[in-house]
Amino acid sequence: MLVERLTRQLGKPTRNLWGWLVKRFLERNRFLEASAVKLCDIQPENVVLELGFGPGLGLQEAARRLTQPGGKLYGLDISEYMYNTASERLRADIQSGKVTLFLGSVEQIPLADNAVDKVYHCNCYYFWPDLRAGSREIHRVMKPGALMVTALHLEYLQKLIAAGLLKGTKWHPEPYMEALREVGFVDVRMEEQRFRGESFQAIFAAAKKA
């Protein structure tokens, strides 16, 4: 029961003790968020989207790089608790119009077609109800040739699995990468990376050019 409750909270934290514990866990993953942002090579005028932004650490990293008037950052998360937490953390950037956050599902991103230059997410796709539907929707909002980066830590994921967590989730990278290819992403690949002494994996995918 405890393990199942924690797994549900990892996918959609709520405002209670379990959700608070998950928030603390996600905050310890700062290096993954910073790594994903760095690998996206965000330019000052880019339009950027983070999926599953959690407590907002990655949003902070990305917002710092958007220094031109055209630079814009969007975030989408399914958890109202995380939405409120990140909204407080990014209050100044939200008030200035640089950052806009949405509460909702990856299968219904409230953005126009061909809207964003860069997309990134960490520890996120495991909980999508339908990998292909989510991947297709992401591809829709990306400009032709736009880049998406997914950061994950396979060794740590395997420890969670061994502890009984993430049961029933789609955590393996191969089905996710196959879903990306099937909906039109190109140059889909996974690479070993290091950031500030930490090793992790990054999946790269580009939106198909027109």
Structural domain boundaries of the chain?
2-206
Q: What was the pLDDT predicted at 9?
A: 53
Cβ count within 10 A of residue 207: 24
Which residues of the chain fall short of a pLDDT of 50? 18, 20
| Angle between helix 80-89 and 17-27 (nearest 10) | 50
Phi, psi of 149 (to 5 degrees): -125, 130
Global pTM reads 0.90
Q: What was the pLDDT predicted at 17?
A: 53
Distance from C-alpha of 87 to C-alpha of 94, rounded to nearest angstrom? 7
Whether the CB-CB separation of 201 and 153 falls below 8 Å is answered with: yes
Domain 2-206 fold: Rossmann fold (3.40.50)
Residue with tokens 């955590």: 171
Cβ count within 10 A of residue 178: 13
Whether the CB-CB separation of 50 and 76 falls below 8 Å is answered with: yes
